[in-house]
Every structure is written in structure tokens, then in C-alpha cells.
Chain A
């Protein structure tokens, strides 16, 4: 009874892990389960939660025997090529990376892209149990100032400064098909963490002419907040069966109003008409353009976050602590703000706004302390001179 009660209380709080000295607890190693077995049991999820549904376009299968014969022919040709053999033996054979990539896009790329997207949790956060094989190759690239382009692949890092303007998008398509392109941020929502912001939404793209589509939501630069790390920005290309008029509010300004979006709900509503086919995503972390975005475009203060580390473990205070330095021991149970204030006041005491600050001591340990100074105070002073410990928190 008590155990269950305690567990209910404890679940939400993450404590710092501590290890107290102990003898072997539980069964002897040869009888007990291994750590792997125990972790597998802990992380076990029922089939209901792990079954996934393919919602993508069907993979086009080409004739395998024809392909195989063509490949065998090609390999025969290579094997009889004397110059190629010589190059290979001298370690000078270099493959054409562009050509290799093109071939990869036609063969294994959808499977590899799906693997890496799963690794980044993209499908899980877009569709829940749904996933798709990105069989349509999406070429997305941002133009840089110096004339080069910065392509979006599957998880590469692009800074906000480099993605201020809308990217250039291209994909292969016949002229009759209609497409929808959606760019969302999976991690960027300011208030609800399980929702997304839609950064760009173009519907009814005829063929691969992105400019001719209906822009429902104008492009908005990514704004990963300071201190929150890397955010994912995902482009998904959907194939339409017919001309669509999604009943979404039209957003033309850069404000965050009406940009809240849940891909899963939106897809569920339109799933009979649209099918996801192409995927590209990148990661982005904070730089100064985010600050400018908040100050100039949104006209608000920029939120700054810091990671919430678990508090250090401090054992309960004792009436008569034995063999503990009294000052250090007492400091552990005082308000840290008060301690920092004391260090701060001490620092201010030696500062004069009209004088040049004295140069730092060249040999801090060579300066003698006044006679009769207790040893604990000497240590305290020495720590401050050397910049060790709590002085750094001020």
C-alpha cells in the first residue's frame, strides 16, 4: 500500500542518481536476469502501441529479371575493362559521387530515408502510428549570400540565418498531378509541446511548378529558441487526387496567429484525397536572427530557456555532524541565493566606478595572509583568489 502510494508521488520528479555503498543485493549474478532482459521488460510495449501503418504511395516495382540482366551485362563489361582494373589496383579508382547518389535515389534511398527519419522521430510526431517510404525525391535548397546553395537532406543542420528566405523546391512530376507542400516545425511550439507551427503551406501545385501553387501560408523563418537546442523542420510533399480547398485560414503575415497546426489531425481529415510522397527535414539551433525575429517581427521579448538539471542530492542535515568542516557543511543547507549575494557584495566592495580595476594577482598563492588568521579562512580566501568554487556562481 505504502509502496504504491510512494510510486505515484515519485513518478513525475527526476532525482539525481546517487549510489550508496552496498553489498550484493538480490540474487547472485548467475541466477538473476541480465540487465538487458530487465531493460527489455521495462521498455516492453504491447503490439497495439507499436503496430505501424504505411500511409505512403505504393512503391513502383520494375521488372526484376530485366534489371538483373542489365546489371550482369554491366558488371561483365566492368570486369573486362583493363584501365579500370589498373586504377583499382593502384587505389586510384574514385567513384562519381553525384552519379552514385543519383543511383541511390532510384534504388535504396526511400528505405534509408525512412530509417533516418524514424531515428529522428519524424513520423512518430507527424502521424503517430503512420509512416511512409519517401519515394518522391524532394530537392530543397536555401540560397546563401555568396551564391552557393544549402540543400535540405535528412537531418543536416541549417542555421536560422541561412534560412531567412523561402527555399527553392524541385521534384520530379508529370504535368497533370497536383501536389501539396507543407513545412512544419515539430519542436517549435511556444505553448503546447505536442503541436506544431506551419511555416509554409502551398496547395495545388501543378506538376513541379511550385510558384503556380496556391500559397495558403506564407513562408516563415525558423525560430529555435535560445537554450532549447536543435529543432526539427520538416517538409512533406503530398500527392493530391483532385484539386483541394483545405479549409485553413489564410496566413499572409509573419505572425504566429493561425499557424498552430497538427499534421495528424489535418491528414486524418483529408486522407482520402492526399498521400504523402516526399520528405526532407533539417535541424536548426539558435542564432542572433531569432532575437531579431522576436524583437522586430513579433514585437515581444525573446524567451530564453535553460535546461532543468536535477537538483544535487544533499543528505538530511544533522544536529551533530561529525568530521565535517563547519563552514562548508553549513553552506550546503543555506539558501544558495544568500550565499551568492554575499560573494557579490564582497566583489562590489572592492570596485570603484572611477578607478581602473586592479590587475589580477600574478602569483595568487604567493601573497601572505595576515598573522593569526584561522586556517579555514585562509582556505576560503585562497579559493576566492584562485577562482575556485562558489565565486564562479556570481
Chain B
């Protein structure tokens, strides 16, 4: 499963310049996930919840505190925020009421944006008008997408359509 992280790129114009190698390896382990060509762990579609994600949002309320985490399918929790950590608790009246959830979302959003992880899978089904729904709304308002894009599949020459390559899209 880890071999997919290896990125090798074939150069189109390799014969034009001799000083640069024809193959370039990007060692960044998050690169393929960002440009949508890494694989997602497939084959768990009979499990509930499935595991087809790179990053997933996990919200764990305990009796006293609430924890929000981003969990990677290999590396486990990579970003986290708790209402019981001093940075938040210092300013909160209660650490598991609705305002705690809303403020947790604000701090958590900030940490996700600082870490460059803005899209994550989310299988939380909130009750309407509840704390969790307010938490998720706050995340979305902060600029986090709660769905992950699909994996880009290279079309075969005989396929009908040529989907747009995600890494060639430039937003202006």
C-alpha cells in the first residue's frame, strides 16, 4: 500500500535537454493525494462506515470534553483540537456545551488551514439543530470541504471521454 506514494514522472522533452533527468521523483508523501492520483483504501464497501478516504474527520465527545481530529488512513490522527486544552478552556464557560462545539470548530479550522489539509471525508450524520450540526456548519464556513474528491482515473485510449486532469486546472 505504501508503494503508491512513489511518484515518477516521465519527461516529454527529455531529448531536448541533456542536463536534466528524464525521470523526476517527488518525495512529498502528500503530493499524490493532493493531485488526486493516489489510491484510496478500497475494498471495504461492505463495512460500515467505509474506509475509502485519505483524511477523515473524527469528532469524539466524551463525558467531559470534545475532541476533533483529522485521521489519515495510514498515519492515524495528524491534526487535533480538544476543548479541554488550555488554549480553549481558558476562554470557555463550559467545555462541552454548544458554544464549546462552535469555538472548537473555529480553532480546529484554523489548524487545518495552517496545515494545508482543507478537504476531508466526513461520515458524521448530525441531528438537526444539534451541537454537531453547528460544529460542521462552522467548519464549512471556515473554508473546509467535508467531502474528498474522487481519484482521477487515467482514461484508456478507447474510452469515450477524457476527464479533466486535476493538476492542469489553474484557478485565477
**Chain A residues in the interface with B (C-beta under 8 A):** 14, 35, 39, 42-43, 71, 74-75, 78-79, 81, 84-85, 87-89, 91-97, 99-101, 103-104, 107-108, 112, 115-116, 118-121, 125, 153-157, 186-187, 190-191, 193-194, 225, 227-232, 282-283, 285, 287, 300-301, 303-309, 312, 328, 331-332, 336, 339, 388-390, 392-393
Given contacts A103-B87, A115-B79, A307-B9, A154 and B107 within 8 Å (CB-CB): no
Given contacts A81-B93, A93-B92, A306 and B106 within 8 Å (CB-CB): no
Q: Count the B residues whose beta carbon is within 8 Å of the partner chain — how many?
A: 71
B78 touching A119 by the CB < 8 A rule? yes
* Distance to closest chain B CB from A380 (angstroms): 12
* Distance to closest chain A CB from B130 (angstroms): 12
* Distance to closest chain A CB from B6 (angstroms): 8
B113 touching A75 by the CB < 8 A rule? no
- Check if B116 is an interface residue, CB within 8 A of chain A: yes
* Distance to closest chain A CB from B44 (angstroms): 8
Of all chain A residues, the one with the shortest Cβ separation from B94 is A88
Residues of A within 8 A of B134 (CB): 91
- Check if B145 is an interface residue, CB within 8 A of chain A: no
CA distance A21 to B14 in the complex (A): 40
B93 touching A103 by the CB < 8 A rule? no
B87 touching A107 by the CB < 8 A rule? yes
Residues of B within 8 A of A99 (CB): 90-91
B43 touching A100 by the CB < 8 A rule? no
B88 touching A100 by the CB < 8 A rule? yes
B32 touching A229 by the CB < 8 A rule? yes
Given contacts A227-B167, A307-B37, A43 and B106 within 8 Å (CB-CB): no
B86 touching A115 by the CB < 8 A rule? no
List 29 A-B pairs, Cβ < 8 Å.
Answer: A84-B93, A87-B99, A89-B97, A95-B92, A96-B91, A103-B86, A104-B107, A107-B86, A115-B78, A115-B79, A115-B80, A116-B115, A119-B29, A120-B29, A121-B28, A121-B29, A187-B28, A187-B31, A190-B19, A193-B26, A227-B167, A229-B7, A229-B28, A283-B34, A303-B11, A303-B20, A308-B8, A331-B158, A389-B160
B102 touching A88 by the CB < 8 A rule? no
CA distance A107 to B85 in the complex (A): 9
B28 touching A108 by the CB < 8 A rule? no
A304 touching B11 by the CB < 8 A rule? yes
From A43, A112, A332, A336, contact of B111 by CB (8 A) = A112
- Check if B117 is an interface residue, CB within 8 A of chain A: yes
A305 touching B10 by the CB < 8 A rule? yes
Residues of A within 8 A of B94 (CB): 88
Residues of B within 8 A of A75 (CB): 89
A93 touching B93 by the CB < 8 A rule? yes
* Distance to closest chain B CB from A307 (angstroms): 6
Of all chain B residues, the one with the shortest Cβ separation from A118 is B75
- Check if B162 is an interface residue, CB within 8 A of chain A: yes
CA distance A235 to B67 in the complex (A): 30
CA distance A88 to B9 in the complex (A): 54
Interface string of B102-146 (1 = CB under 8 A from A): 110011001101111100000000000000001000000000000
From A155, A186, A301, contact of B115 by CB (8 A) = A155
CA distance A320 to B27 in the complex (A): 47
- Check if B157 is an interface residue, CB within 8 A of chain A: yes
Of all chain A residues, the one with the shortest Cβ separation from B43 is A35
B residues 146-162 near A (Cβ < 8 Å) are 154, 156-162
CA distance A95 to B87 in the complex (A): 10
* Distance to closest chain A CB from B56 (angstroms): 14
Residues of A within 8 A of B10 (CB): 305-306, 308
A230 touching B27 by the CB < 8 A rule? no
Given contacts A156-B113, A304-B11, A119 and B28 within 8 Å (CB-CB): no
* Distance to closest chain A CB from B137 (angstroms): 12
Residues of A within 8 A of B77 (CB): 115
Given contacts A88-B92, A88-B99, A305-B11, A116 and B106 within 8 Å (CB-CB): no
B24 touching A305 by the CB < 8 A rule? yes
A227 touching B9 by the CB < 8 A rule? yes
- Check if B13 is an interface residue, CB within 8 A of chain A: yes
Of all chain B residues, the one with the shortest Cβ separation from A390 is B157
B170 touching A307 by the CB < 8 A rule? no
Residues of A within 8 A of B12 (CB): 304-306
CA distance A95 to B86 in the complex (A): 12
- Check if B2 is an interface residue, CB within 8 A of chain A: yes
* Distance to closest chain A CB from B16 (angstroms): 6
Given contacts A71-B86, A107-B87, A305-B11, A229 and B75 within 8 Å (CB-CB): no
B98 touching A230 by the CB < 8 A rule? no
- Check if B63 is an interface residue, CB within 8 A of chain A: no
- Check if B40 is an interface residue, CB within 8 A of chain A: no
- Check if B52 is an interface residue, CB within 8 A of chain A: no
CA distance A193 to B9 in the complex (A): 12
* Distance to closest chain A CB from B75 (angstroms): 5
